[in-house]
Structure 1
Amino acid sequence: MRIRASVAVVTGALALSALAVPAAQADGGSGDTRITKVVVDGDNKVAISTSGLKTIKVSVTATDNSGIKQADSFTLDGPGYGFASTGKPTCTVVNATTSTCTASVKVDPKVDFLSNSNAGRWYVDAWIDANDGDYIWKEKAGSFLFQRASKLTADATPEPVKKGKTITVTGTLTRANWETLKYGGYASQPVKLQFRKKGSSAYKTLKTIKTDSKGKLRTTTKATADGYYRYSFAGNSATSAVDSKADFVDVK
């Protein structure tokens, strides 16, 4: 089931999920069954653009002294009445007592009812059955960030430049608007100007500046050596982190 963000549709989705999940709707269980780990998309961050189908992978690791039998579909809940339900999980045995159950849900910003208010921290609810009849039902068993994808550019001029002269670095930070299906400027955000000397593998932060009302960036620095300039945005709970492509400057 795909994400349904409008109130009317969410109500229906929740009602349908209630048919598939046993009666208890609060944390509970029996015996020694425990959920030990929840991972979403590898790093618990999901960035959604303005187009393209995105498959979100959810993995729940659980343990019981008799081993794990199965898991019901995982439900995902987020801000702005965000809701999604995975397909039936496949459980893979880790050892005699532990299994990791994995399932996925597909999100397409062009056909799903995403609103910008859906961005932020989402939670995974999970029901796990053990081989001996024990079970665990846990709301908010894990969490992840459901983020608006971002883009960042950088352009350093002049090229080439004399050593000690001023370099101007411009750029733009934009992020996905799920309601217009376009990218728009992201205002008042801290962005780092970074430099990597030719022959080095590490970037050094030169300064931090903020984007203007249209997401634009502009700052200056002194040319010291041949190297690469880029902007770097750390992201936040609602917007993904991003680094611009590096722009090489030849210093004469």
Structure 2
Amino acid sequence: MRTHTATAVLSGAVVLSALVLPGAAQAAEHPGAATGLRAFAAQSVQPKDAVGGTTFKDGLLNNGKDVVLGVTGKKSVPVMFTAFDEEGLALTQAFLWQGTDSSSTDTITGALGTDDDPVCNETTVEGGYSYSCKAVFTIDPAVDFKDGNGTAGPWKLFLGAFDLYLNISIDDDVVRSSIKRAATLTANASPEPVKKGKTITVTGKLSRANWTTGKYAGYATQPVKLQFRKKGTSTYTTLKTVNTSSTGTLKATTKAVSDGYYRFVFAGTGTTGTATAPGDFVDVR
């Protein structure tokens, strides 16, 4: 996991003491300001200690969906939020963090692979200025989470801002989401074809991403639903629930009634995404 660290404990005011901000601007125009906010965020400073009057709302991480990652490939995670300040802002910054203390350098994660700050569009409104902001966090599980699967689970969005007078505002719990390990699921129904009334056995396996090894491994003792869809229809019906073995394998039996498709469905957990096996057709004669 890439964690954000500061090489020195600096206050935003010290870093920005020589910076003159005549009007609201994007953070990219003031790299010194961005450095100051990152250093501030890495200190033991709680949101209640911030002195600015910026407010944040309407935070949205990954369009409101869980972030589900396999073992390879980068994933772009969009972030959107709104900021308001009476005087105007010099910059905003976004982090994802996990744990109980947003000031810990072990848990604050700077944009997960990018140092780019949010891009904000300013609008003059009654009583001040409103900013519609967007950012993209790029996550590579093979790099960012290779040291442990324990990072799967709830994450929080940290937002911070400098106003034009160098006052700092932060909110370390604007919105929450989950970063989860991807799961895969298979299903095979047999015999094919089968006589009506005879037993059908459906086997399969539930696996999930292991970020440490870079491979998928069986997910043990998890409830999985066996479902059936009659030929010519579009709706699956749950027949029973079975648990995976210690290696993630599945086995369920049912009676052959009519032609149709059998599949397994996994609802997911707090650390693992959902999975649905492709339906396997059985011809009943």
Using structure 1 for the length normalisation, give the TM-score: 0.83
Instruction: Report the alpha carbon displacement of residue 30 of structure 1 after superposing the two structures with TM.
Output: 6.7
Is 2:107 the counterpart of 1:89?
Answer: no
Matched residue, 1:74: 94
More strand by share: 1
Q: Structure 1 residues 190-199 or 134-143, which shifts more?
A: 134-143
Structure 1: runs of 5+ lacking an equivalent: 5-9
Match of 1:27 in 2: 47
Cα displacement string for residues 143-183 of structure 1 (whole angstroms, at most 9, x for unaligned residues): 11111111110111112222222111100000111111010
Measured at CA, do residues 94 and 50 of structure 1 come closer, stay the same or move farther in structure 2, by a change above 3 Å?
farther
Gap change, CA 1:141 and 1:71, over 3 Å in 2: farther
CA contact (8 A) 1:177 1:183 kept: yes
Larger helix percent: 2
Q: Contact between 1:67 and 1:98, CA under 8 Å: does it hold in 2?
A: no
Which residue does the alignment assign to 1:119? 152
Larger Rg: 2
> Structure 1's 92 and 67: CA in aligned 2 closer, same or farther, altered over 3 A?
farther
For residues 91-118 of structure 1, give each alpha carbon's deviation from its aligned partner in whole angstroms, at most 9, with x where no partner exists.
Answer: 2469956543111222223333531111
SS in structure 2 opposite 1:117?
Answer: helix
Q: Is the 8 A contact 1:79 1:118 kept in 2?
A: no
Between the two proteins, the alignment pairs up a number of residues equal to 242
CA distance in 1, matches of 2:253, 2:68: 31
Partner of 1:7: none
**Residue 133 of structure 1: how far off its partner (Å):** 8.8
The answer to whether the Cα contact below 8 Å between 2:185 and 2:264 also exists between their aligned partners in 1 is yes
Matched ranges for 1:30-179 at <5 A: 33-63=54-84, 69=89, 71-78=91-98, 81-86=106-111, 87-92=116-121, 96=125, 98-114=130-146, 115-128=148-161, 136-179=169-212
Quick check: 1:44–1:143 contact (8 Å CA) kept in 2?
Answer: no
Structure 1 stretch 52-61 or stretch 211-220: which is displaced more? 52-61
**1:15 partner SS:** coil
Gaps of 5+ in 2: 11-34, 101-105
Two-structure CA RMSD over aligned residues (Å): 3.0
Identity rate, percent: 40
Question: Any conservation in 1 of the 2:93–2:161 contact (CA below 8 Å)?
Answer: no
Query: Which secondary structure state, in structure 1, belongs to the residue aligned with residue 150 of structure 2?
Result: helix
- Structure 1 residues 94 and 235, CA gap change in structure 2 (3 angstroms): farther
Maintained 8 Å contact 1:191/1:234: yes
Is residue 2:222 matched to residue 1:189?
A: yes
Could you say if the C-alpha distance between residues 130 and 232 of structure 1 is closer, same or farther in structure 2, counting changes exceeding 3 Å? farther
d(CA) in 2 for partners of 1:92 and 1:163? 65
Q: CA deviation at 1:56?
A: 1.9
**What is the CA distance between 1:142 and its match in structure 2?**
1.1
Structure 1 partner of 2:273: 240
TM-score by length of 2: 0.74
Question: What is the one-letter code of the residue matched to 2:97?
Answer: D
